[in-house]
């Protein structure tokens, strides 16, 4: 006997349970909506399972190993420091499990119905959610699409046991002796640095003239100096041509200055960008418009051209950042509830967990000038900060970009230890419309890395205490 597929009716269907989707689902539920969230994969999406979280865990473990081997100038030496990489991977997986199980608990606590399966749109108010055995129709008043992205695969470098995407690189069972990284963006630079800290001989092939595009050269130059110290070979303007796989390794062919070169390694990691997951959802059935790049067009409330369907995260314009997706998820959920919320990307930070860390928020000096602002740039060095000295980590700076006419903070950059944390105050200053004087009048604890933001604000005001005027 065939049982009829009676539609399940919900206020809001959220498609995708990554950092955009699950946050959107929780916020929508908090605002009184009956919410169902669906994902064919694990809760937490790429970020929690195979991206942000496991990569930072691996980076942290690699730092511990490097510090154990290189702290002699502080009078600390260790002999025969070893890595049990299977234990590192087990610990990393434990971190991931704690967070993904936490997401499940939060969704349930907010009475969000969780469904595992693939979503395919039938029309602008209907979708089917399918697993290997069943198909269930859902009728929704509104929908938030948050399906994220996947790594771009290069034709000459098809993924295999030796040709890895970021997920493969995070799940290796061994520390490679040699690793080639194709692409010197933030993912390639982060994972390349992590394995270099574990002792791997790393070669980075970058097609442009610099790694970590999007960050000021004054910031990337510090990272490159550190990479050189670790023995990492960064080759810019290098075009990867192909790979020859062997039983126990690879030979990567690349071209630089018109000359073909090769480099041997145990593995090659390909990190040349990500592709939006919009191609297998049946979006054309719902009438949702896409750009030539497969991104979904949205307005300032994350609404698509179909009035009751919203899109957030990696599938819309902008950098593929987890915190951007979460932010947009809240905006979409609030817009569905009738709030006047709109997206404003001015305060969204970009962070690279390299060595040292890089972080930027708001305007850079060049971008501000391009938009017609008359700005002042004030910089304070880590080398003049007591906490940085006590950490034995003095490379870098904190920089504020302020409007000359009134000292309004419109941007900031941090290169150095814990830049990912230090940048938050500058983001808050931009969001709150604060001036350099507001920051300078805020008492910062001493000795901390955070007080460099105050010091930079005093440089902006022309009255620095701890650097010569």
Whether pLDDT at 1 is above 50:
no
Please check whether residue 465 lies inside any domain of the structure: no
- Whether the CB-CB separation of 419 and 408 falls below 8 Å is answered with no
Residue ending a domain, among 345, 365, 392, is 345
Please check whether residue 448 lies inside any domain of the structure: yes
> Are both 118 and 15 inside the same structural domain?
yes
Whether pLDDT at 2 is above 50:
no
Whether pLDDT at 99 is above 90:
yes
> Are both 132 and 279 inside the same structural domain?
yes
Residue ending a domain, among 221, 247, 272, is 272
The 3-state DSSP composition of the chain as helix, strand, coil percent (nearest 5) reads 35, 25, 40
Tell me the pLDDT tens digit for each residue of 291-301: 999 999 999 99
Whether pLDDT at 192 is above 60:
yes
The Cβ-side half-sphere exposure at 26, using a 13 Å CA radius, reads 19
Please check whether residue 351 lies inside any domain of the structure: no
Q: For residue 465, give Cα distances in angstroms to 140, 209, 216, 353, 468.
A: 60, 38, 26, 30, 8
> Are both 31 and 91 inside the same structural domain?
yes
> Are both 34 and 132 inside the same structural domain?
yes
CATH of the domain at 143: 3.50.50.60
Please check whether residue 404 lies inside any domain of the structure: yes
Tell me which of 165 and 134 has the higher pLDDT: 165
Give the relative orientation of helices 217-229 and 186-197 as an angle to the nearest 10 degrees.
Answer: 30
Tell me the pLDDT tens digit for each residue of 298-315: 999 999 999 999 999 999
Please check whether residue 237 lies inside any domain of the structure: yes
pLDDT classification of 4: cutoffs 50, 70, 90 = low
Tell me the pLDDT tens digit for each residue of 43-80: 999 999 999 999 999 999 999 999 999 999 999 999 99
> Are both 364 and 323 inside the same structural domain?
no
pLDDT, average across residues 430-439: 98
> Are both 140 and 284 inside the same structural domain?
yes
Average pLDDT, the chain: 96
pLDDT score of 140: 98
CATH of the domain at 378: 3.30.390.30
pLDDT score of 469: 87
**pTM for this one?**
0.95
pLDDT, average across residues 247-269: 97
pLDDT classification of 329: cutoffs 50, 70, 90 = very high
Please check whether residue 102 lies inside any domain of the structure: yes
Give per-residue burial for 387-415: e unless 16+ CB within 10 Å, then b: bbeebebbbbbbbbbbbeeebbbbbbbbb
> Are both 251 and 398 inside the same structural domain?
no
pLDDT score of 105: 97
Write out the residue range of the structural domain in which residue 109 sits: 8-151+275-345
pLDDT, average across residues 367-373: 97
pLDDT, average across residues 235-252: 96
Beta-bridge partners for 380: 398
pLDDT score of 398: 98
Q: What percent of the chain has pLDDT over 70?
A: 99
Nearest to 39 by CA among 115, 111, 145, 124: 115
> Are both 323 and 364 inside the same structural domain?
no
pLDDT score of 3: 47
pLDDT, average across residues 376-404: 98
Residue ending a domain, among 256, 272, 288, is 272
Distance CA 280, CA 406 (A): 50
Catalytic annotation present for 446: yes
Q: How many domains does the chain have?
A: 3
> Are both 266 and 290 inside the same structural domain?
no
Give the CA angle between residues 295, 327, 277 to the nearest 5°. Answer: 25
Q: Which of the residues 97, 323, 444, 446 is marked catalytic?
A: 446
pLDDT, average across residues 285-295: 97
């Amino acid at each position: 006997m065939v049982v009829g597929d009676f539609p399940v009716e919900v206020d809001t269907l959220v498609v995708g349970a990554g950092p955009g989707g699950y946050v959107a689902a929780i916020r929508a539920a908090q605002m009184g909506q009956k919410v169902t969230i669906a994902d064919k994969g694990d809760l937490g999406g790429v970020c929690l399972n195979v991206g942000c979280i496991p990569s930072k865990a691996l980076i942290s473990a690699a730092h511990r190993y490097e510090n154990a081997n290189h702290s002699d100038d502080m009078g600390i030496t260790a002999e025969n420091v070893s890595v049990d990489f299977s234990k590192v991977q087990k610990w990393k997986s434990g971190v991931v499990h704690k967070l993904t199980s936490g997401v499940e608990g939060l969704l349930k606590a907010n009475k969000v119905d969780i469904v595992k399966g693939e979503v395919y749109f039938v029309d602008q108010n209907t979708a089917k959610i399918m697993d290997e055995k069943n198909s269930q129709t859902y009728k929704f008043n509104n929908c938030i699409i948050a399906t994220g992205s996947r790594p771009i695969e290069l034709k000459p470098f098809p993924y295999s046991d030796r040709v890895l995407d970021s997920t493969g690189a995070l799940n290796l069972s061994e520390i490679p002796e040699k690793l080639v990284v194709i692409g010197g963006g933030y993912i390639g630079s982060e994972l390349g640095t992590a394995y270099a800290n574990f002792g791997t001989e790393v070669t980075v092939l970058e097609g442009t003239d610099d790694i970590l595009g999007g960050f000021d050269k004054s910031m990337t130059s510090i990272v490159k100096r550190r990479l050189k110290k670790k023995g990492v070979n960064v080759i810019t303007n290098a075009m990867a041509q192909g790979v020859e796989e062997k039983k126990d390794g690879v030979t990567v062919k690349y071209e630089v200055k018109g000359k073909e070169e090769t480099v041997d390694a145990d593995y090659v990691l390909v990190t040349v960008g990500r592709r939006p997951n919009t191609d297998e959802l049946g979006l054309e059935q719902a009438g949702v418009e896409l750009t030539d790049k497969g991104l979904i067009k949205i307005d300032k409330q994350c609404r698509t051209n179909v009035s009751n369907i919203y899109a957030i995260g990696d599938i819309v314009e902008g950098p593929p950042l987890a915190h951007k997706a979460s932010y947009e998820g809240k905006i979409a959920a609030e817009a569905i509830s009738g709030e006047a919320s709109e997206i404003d990307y001015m305060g969204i930070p970009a962070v690279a967990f390299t060595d040292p860390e890089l972080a930027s928020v708001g305007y850079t000096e060049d971008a501000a000038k391009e938009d017609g602002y008359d700005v002042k740039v004030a910089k304070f060095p880590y080398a003049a900060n007591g906490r940085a000295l006590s950490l034995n980590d003095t490379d870098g700076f904190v920089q504020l970009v302020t409007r000359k006419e009134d000292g309004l903070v419109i941007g900031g950059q941090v290169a150095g230890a814990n830049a990912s944390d230090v940048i938050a105050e500058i983001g808050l200053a931009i969001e709150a419309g604060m001036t350099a004087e507001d920051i300078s009048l805020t008492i910062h604890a001493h000795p901390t890395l955070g007080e460099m933001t105050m010091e930079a604000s005093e440089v902006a005001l022309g009255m620095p205490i701890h650097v010569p005027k």
